Structure formats: C-alpha cells, structure tokens
Amino acid sequence: MSVVDSPVSWVKEHIRKYVETDGAEGHEWRPGVFTLLLTTQGRKSGQPRRTALIYQPHGDAYVVVASNGGASDDPAWFKNMQADNTAEVQVLADRFQVRSRVATGEERERLWRLMTEVWPDYDEYTRKTDREIPVVVLERA
C-alpha cells in the first residue's frame, strides 16, 4: 500500500521535500526547529499515513507532542498510535521502526519543558484546549 501524506497542503509539500532529499530540505524546518517524519497505520483504513512532527532527541529516543495546534481533539496520528503503538520514523536519511508510549507524571513535565524550549507555541496550545496534550516518546523497536 502506498503511503498517504498529510492532507494539509503545506505539510504535504514539507514531507515531499524531506523524502526527496533525505531530510536535507525539511529536517530543519525553522532555525533550530527540527522535524521527523512519522508513518502510522491508519486505525480504520489500514493505510500507512505520514506526517511531519517537531521533535527533540531524548537519549536513544525521540519526543514529539500530539498538540494538533491546540484543537479539542487528538491528532489522527496519535489516535493511530493508540490503536497500534508501532510506527516508522525517518530522521534525515535514517528510517527505523519505533514503539510509542505516552509520558506521564514527572517525566511528562520534564519532556514538556524540553519541547517548549524548541517550540514555545505548545504552551499557547494548552490555553486553547481542555485536553491534556500528550507527550509521546518514540523508542527504537
């Protein structure tokens, strides 16, 4: 099955450039803000679905935030990972399998601070929603 990229046009274009250049274009999305590509299995369709996410390395793992821009609902990729916690990640030219887990408690607070250092808008997103925005750890499988 072919991968379905984000339906958001600017994200789809970002992904295209990232894939075509092995991240030479797109890995550093904005100065000091790095992205990875996450491909999950659609929980309803079974179709592979790919999006670009801001990340921070954390030891051997990668941390991402399921912010959905502060929307009231979790992003589709997060819902897919709740149904199946395995996925594929691409960082630059490196492609590998991961297992995801949601950080909780003190770990979540520490990782939230790590992520807001690189993308302060996450704090603004919390003011737009009643849900606790998940912080997700992607560990190599």
**DSSP-derived secondary structure for 42-103:** -TTT--EEEEEEE-EEETTEEEEE--GGG-SS--HHHHHHHH--EEEEEETTEEEEEEEEE-
pLDDT score recorded for residue 30: 95
pLDDT score recorded for residue 1: 77
Mean pLDDT by 10 residues, the chain (141 residues): 92 97 97 97 96 97 97 97 97 98 98 98 96 98 95
pTM of the model: 0.96
Give the 3-state secondary structure of residue 117: helix
